[in-house]
Amino acid sequence: MYSQGLIGADGTTEETEEFLAAFQARIDREEKIEPNDPMPEGYRKTLIRQIGQHAHSEIVGMLPEGNWITRAPSLRRKAALLAKVQDEGGHGLYLYSAAETLGVSREQMTEELLSGKAKYSSIFNYPTPTWADMGTIGWLVDGAAIMNQIPLCRCSYGPYARAMIRVCKEESFHQRQGYELLISLCNGTKEQKDMAQDSINRWWWPSLMMFGPHDADSSHSEQSMKWKIKRFSNDELRQKFIDATVPQAEYLGLTVPDPDLKWNPEKNNGKGGYDHGEINWVEFWQVVKGHGQMNRDRIKARKKAWNDGEWVRDAALAHAEKRAARQTAQAAE
């Protein structure tokens, strides 16, 4: 999954106006931009940043859910969770590959994640203290991700758009799986239902933050919209998410922790929608800037995996070189 709130992208570009106009015309004709096509440097940089952040989010996102694999309460749930976390890793792999088409290596992107230069979705800096969180993450976090990602299937950059088609199918499955887990809890005992309510209390607001700052405060949105990397604004997507999700919470018999939430029939050009309370932007920026409860632990875990695995990667490389040398020697005989 991924947060749309692209952080720190530098969309500046230095090409001639003629080149930029021709490129924009291709975008406007809804042509897909492919890896070997000429593209403005700003477009390339924005995409590398966005796809990289997306890939990192998948990789870091394996941690909060991986936290429950060994403790899953039934073998069926354990298998489903393993498969889900494995899917996230798979998404990371496609996305790193998509970013590599823009001339950046996976190793380089990994170094940037570990050094703190590259960001990942802030949602993963919240802890998963209970089993119910495995359901809530699927339902709310993957649900919010899908809202962001469905439009990305039409992104102007071909490799990213195509990767997103498969990713979205899997995310949609995860969302249903998460919701089904919560149905089990909500149909269960009081302790189970309380566990589910406690979980939505903790995840509701961070999920809304996944859509990024208000449109008025989102500095990089305009150029991304023009280049059709992004198709809807943060606030539009957030509203869609709330309108789709509140009835799902009601079906579960759970309360959305927002006392200001109320149905407004005038909203969405008279189709109706929910008014909601204000997001705690202090908390949002605190977590984005690296001071959430789990920021340090997440990066520490990724660094540990990377550093502890160095000898394995070195050995694989050394073995491949030895093997190639032996083949060359054999061929020479």
Binders of other proteins in range 101-130 (CB under 8 A): 106
Q: Shortest Cβ distance from residue 332 to other proteins (Å)?
A: 21
| Rg (the chain; Cα; Å) | 22
90 near other proteins, judged by CB under 8 A: yes
254 near other proteins, judged by CB under 8 A: no
CA separation for the pair 39, 302 (Å, rounded)? 33
289 near other proteins, judged by CB under 8 A: no
253 near other proteins, judged by CB under 8 A: no
Q: Choose the binding region for other proteins from 37-45, 62-70, 141-149, 253-261 (rule: CB under 8 A).
A: 62-70
- Find how far residue 177's CA is from the centre of its chain: 18
Contacting residue, 103, 116, 129, 188, with other proteins by CB under 8 A: 188
Helix (H, G, I), strand (E, B) or coil at 275: strand
In 3D space, the residue among 153, 159, 187 whose CA is nearest the CA of residue 172 turns out to be 153
Q: Choose the binding region for other proteins from 76-84, 170-178, 199-207, 242-250 (rule: CB under 8 A).
A: 76-84
In the complex with other proteins, which residue's Cβ is closer, 225 or 325?
325
Helices assigned H by DSSP within the chain: 17-28, 41-60, 62-66, 75-100, 106-115, 132-136, 142-152, 158-186, 190-209, 221-226, 234-252, 281-288, 295-308, 310-332
In the complex with other proteins, which residue's Cβ is closer, 167 or 209?
167
89 near other proteins, judged by CB under 8 A: yes
Tell me, by CB under 8 A, how many residues bind other proteins.
49
Residue 271 buriedness (CB in 10 A; 0-12 / 13-18 / 19+): exposed
Contacting residue, 17, 216, 270, 312, with other proteins by CB under 8 A: 312
184 near other proteins, judged by CB under 8 A: yes
183 near other proteins, judged by CB under 8 A: no
N- to C-terminal Cα separation, the chain: 53
309 near other proteins, judged by CB under 8 A: yes
Dihedral sign for Cα 39, 55, 217, 275, please. Answer: positive
CA separation for the pair 224, 231 (Å, rounded)? 8
Per CB under 8 A, residues contacting other proteins are 59, 62-63, 66, 69-79, 82-83, 85-86, 89-90, 92-93, 96, 106, 131, 181, 184-185, 188-189, 191-192, 301, 304-305, 308-316, 318-320, 322
